Structure 1
Amino acid sequence: MTPLYRTLRGAALTVMACSTLLLAGCGSDVTPRAIPASDDVATSSSSTGQTTTSAAPSSRGGGDFGGDVDIDVEIGECVELGGTMTAATIDNATCGSPDSNYKVVGKAPTNAECVSDVDQYYYETFDDVEQGALCLDVDWVVGGCMDFPVADDPERVECSSPGFDTVRVVEILDGTTEVNDCASDATSGFSYDERNFIVCVEDI
């Protein structure tokens, strides 16, 4: 079947002001940005219902290659990313909690150095020079539901109260990007081609 491409939400978010954490000599030159990695980062494909056993999760990150951002967060930790075109926001969040929508899977001096299939970048510039980037994936939780509002970042929702475009995570399979490998209750999958895994989901 022809894959259906779904872009994980996120617009170019720019703030020409100090972030919520104080910076030495902070002025109007610090610019946090959050942008989707690309239009075809995560693809959603129709499933034929072939059942397989879920593989144990592997390290799906891109590593810590340095860079400097104003938020204190490590690889494997989660954030709440949001805001508008004029007011980007990012804050620490407990993974799997209602506030968490992205997991840090890598850190780099520039967003171009993140692995190519991440869902989102968050980076900061000073005088138009990029200082550091967080490489972000949706904070997928097996059995949990994520909603993808139009033009907004994903939001964790109760599966019993779906939103605009809600999916329930059925399983996460390593070593494949084929939706046909997903369990029979999965209706589609978000594939991560460079890191070779797929998030199998059921539309709610």
Structure 2
Amino acid sequence: MGKRGWAHVRRRIELGAVVAAAVFAVGCSSTVDGTATAASDPVTSAATTAAGQVGSDGGGEVDIDVEIGECVRLGGTMDAATISEASCGSADSNYRVIAKAETNAQCPSDVDQVYYEESALGTELGALCLDIDWVIGGCMSVPDGGDDEPQRVDCADTHVPGVQRAVELIDGATDVERCSEGGFVYREREFVVCTEEVRPL
């Protein structure tokens, strides 16, 4: 095969008009290693899916066999990415597959993350377009940069920094005006996940 990797695309949380950088678990089956350029019971909570998160299969091939709408655990680093299947809304999931593409540049510009694989010659073989696997009422620890990925956490664990509780999904929105505190805006696909910060003790 060749290189396998993931590339940071855009992660942002908006508080009013201010934009700031922003996004654990055991995989259900296969794991791919590569090179890279909550609610107390989240499984029973309502998983968050916007109309804009049901994209198309634009082709391409990656080693992990997941479909649009299914979830994964992405980890590792830019130089040693790992990806495995996970049940959506579970403690094992941090991203939902919202589309597939032949190259990472074909993913929507506002996805939270892209996982892609390359041949030994550097040609991209396929890409998974990924959004954070939000669960309404559930919490995610959302790093503000670096190689770290979002992790599902217990909302009561106030010692973890960067924890965001998803409180509402608004389709057809391109800003956080209707959110009470802030949220993650997906302008191209026109939806917002409203969140509130769970502050550490």
TM-score by length of 2: 0.76
Report what 1:146 is aligned to.
140
* 1:81 and 2:74 aligned: yes
AA at the equivalent of 1:87:
A
AA at the equivalent of 1:89:
T
- After superposing on structure 2, the runs of 4+ consecutive aligned residues of structure 1 that deviate more than 6 Å are none
Report what 1:191 is aligned to.
185
Report what 1:164 is aligned to.
161
2: distance between equivalents of 1:31 and 1:136? 19
Identical pairs, percent: 52
Unaligned runs of 5+ in 2: 18-48
Secondary structure class of the residue paired with 1:180: coil
Give the alignment's Cα RMSD to 1 decimal: 1.7
1: distance between equivalents of 2:164 and 2:13? 14
Report what 1:17 is aligned to.
none
Work out the number of aligned pairs and report it: 163
Report what 1:68 is aligned to.
61
Measured at CA, do residues 61 and 36 of structure 1 come closer, stay the same or move farther in structure 2, by a change above 3 Å?
farther
Report what 2:88 is aligned to.
95
**Deviation per residue, 1:97-139 (Å, 9 max, x gap):** 1110000000000000011110100000012110000000000
Report what 2:51 is aligned to.
58
TM-score by length of 1: 0.75
Give the 5 Å matches for 1:99-118.
99-118=92-111
Q: CA deviation at 1:164?
A: 1.4
Report what 1:119 is aligned to.
112
2: distance between equivalents of 1:172 and 1:148? 17
Unaligned runs of 5+ in 1: 1-25, 48-55
Indicate if the aligned counterparts of 2:5 and 2:78 stay in contact, CA closer than 8 A.
Answer: no
Measured at CA, do residues 59 and 85 of structure 1 come closer, stay the same or move farther in structure 2, by a change above 3 Å?
closer
